[in-house]
Homo-oligomer: A and B are copies of this chain.
Amino acid sequence: MILGTVKGTVYSTRKMENLKGLKFLLVQPVNGTKKDMLVAADTLGAGIGELVLVTTDQTTQYAVDHPTPVDAFIVGIVDNPPAME
């Protein structure tokens, strides 16, 4: 999974029907740059500046209750920045 920081919110009015109601957040991978930024769906209520775990591709489907065309999903909010030995 990707460890990243929430950097903003993405609003989209014209979108696929099965995406209605889903919140999209900009996430920048830890140690990455703006170039590595991705957009992930969120149902946990992650806030700007929080460190999150993002799962990708088909495994996102185990975070939702109906088939959803998103390839990145926030599945956890990290308690503290982990020590990296």
Contact = CB atoms under 8 A, between A and B. Distances in A.
Contacts of A33: 31
Contacts of A83: 8
Interface in A28-42: 29-35, 37-40
A16 to B, nearest CB: 5
Contact of A68 (B12, B31, B62): B62
B84 A15 contact: no
Contacts of A24: 1, 53, 76
A59 B71 contact: yes
Interface of A: 1-3, 7-16, 18-19, 24, 26, 29-35, 37-40, 44, 48-49, 53, 55-63, 67-73, 75-80, 82-85
